[in-house]
Amino acid sequence: MTAQPPVILVHGLFAPRVSMLPFQWALKWAGLDAHTVRLPLLNMAAVESSAELLRARVDQVLASSGHERCDIVGMSLGGLISLHYLVALDGAAKVRRMITLGTPVRGTWSAVAAVATIGPCCPAARQCLPGSEFLKGLDARGLPQGPEIIAVYGSFDPVAPKSRCTIPGVRNIEIATFPQPFAHQSLIASPAAVKALIELLKEA
């Protein structure tokens, strides 16, 4: 069993699972036991159903690793999926630390285009709109006791700016990213961001 708990990476909206592979390899190179989770349909399904898949993946990884708790890194929508897992699916007892990356906990207007074009096929996009019933419900539940939650956001991120990503009562960290139009994606790609995330995951 490794000294550090396993890390589970949850990708964002319209992103395939393989989008996390370079980040996963970077974490493994740094000595962390990193895993991804399979979320179908480019992660366009409702957050609730994706969180159920995350719960199954957490149980699988913990059983194989011998650890009682894991760390979770949720990229963009992946952070909302992870938060829902913590507060609605009793995931808090199985998570040591959760990091949200550019996660629009207050919603993002960037989801409007997706809702206008493929809204019926993309429940997740509707849930990301500011003021959505999902976000209201998530906020009403509050933060769970136990896991350390860290909100990370990019300096130049137009998709999920600081005003949409900060979470009261937790550590909120701004990371320098690539300028537009790559600011959002560079939260898991820029060397500075990856280095900062590795340091956060290795904290005692």
Comparing 10-14, 57-61, 187-191, the range with the smallest average pLDDT is: 187-191
pTM check: above 0.85: yes
Average pLDDT, the chain: 95
pLDDT of residue 28: 97
pLDDT of residue 142: 95
pLDDT of residue 123: 96
1: burial class by Cβ within 10 Å (0-12, 13-18, 19+)?
Answer: exposed
User: What whole-number distance in Å separates Cα of residue 159 and Cα of residue 147?
Assistant: 26
In percent, the amount of the chain with pLDDT more than 90 equals: 86
pLDDT of residue 56: 98
Collapse the DSSP code of 35 into the 3-class scheme (helix H, G, I; strand E, B; otherwise coil) and give the result.
strand
- Which tens digit of pLDDT belongs to each residue from 146-196? 999 999 999 889 899 999 999 999 999 999 888 777 789 899 999 989 999
Which helix (H) or strand (E) segment is 171 a member of?
A: strand 171-175
pLDDT at 70 over 80: yes
CB atoms within 10 A of CB 79: 28
Collapse the DSSP code of 34 into the 3-class scheme (helix H, G, I; strand E, B; otherwise coil) and give the result.
strand
**Do 42 and 16 contact (CB within 8 A), yes or no?**
yes
